[in-house]
Chains A and B, each alone.
Chain A
Amino acid sequence: MGKNLKLKSARVAKDMSQKDLADAVGVTRQTINAIENGDYNPTINLCIAICKALDKTLNDLFWEDD
């Protein structure tokens, strides 16, 4: 699983740190870091929470193009 650069760029675009996003969705900063680095595959509930926090859709952040 590669790095999720879409998530990182969306987070940076909203001027949020990993800690800010983690607090917004109720997880630890390490979890957000692991998702961005592709080390952890989040559940659909967490994906939806992240999308809502960043005002993006699931396709925008988690759909991998071929």
Chain B
Amino acid sequence: MNKKGLDEMQLQKRNSIGNQSFVMLLYLLLLDAGLYGFGFRWISYPANVMIILSLCAGIYVIRLIAANAFAGPSVKIQKPVLNVVLIILLVILISASILVIMNNAGFTSSEQIGDMSAPVLFITAAVAILISATTFVIKAKQDKDEE
């Protein structure tokens, strides 16, 4: 048995969830392109793709964790609360850094960075925080479901 990776049931689940997430990503991008073709723009260009990608990636990770196919049998999480807190602090730090950099970048024109670039970055950070919090909740629930 491979003690470093996922076990065989986890691999099956991961492959299944990955395929479903990929198909969902494909259909959402096609839907977005179709809406764009009909003249309906729910959000401007860089943000729509980022949001769809973040959504699919978030759903993929959450489903992996919910199906216990994220970490293999050899991975022992000793301090999950501390890990989640550290991840959230890291995300907040990255968000603050982005904010400072964007404010001090000295762009002469807002068109240089695009109207939606800053919101996209913050949406990404918000999704990361949401994923961390959801991960913690799911892991806590799984720990209660022993046997």
Contact = CB atoms under 8 A, between A and B. Distances in A.
B73 interface: yes
A58 interface: no
> Which residue among A27, A42, A46, A49 has the maximum number of chain B CB atoms within 10 Å of its CB?
A27
Interface stretch (B2-10, B36-44, B102-110, B130-138): B2-10
Name the prevailing secondary structure of the B interface residues. Answer: loop
A28 interface: yes
Interface in A39-63: 40, 42-43, 45-46, 49
Q: Which of the four size classes fits the interface of chain B?
A: 10 to 19
B68 A46 contact: no
Contacts of B111: none
Main SS at interface, chain A? helix
Interface of B: 1-3, 7-10, 68, 72-74, 146-147
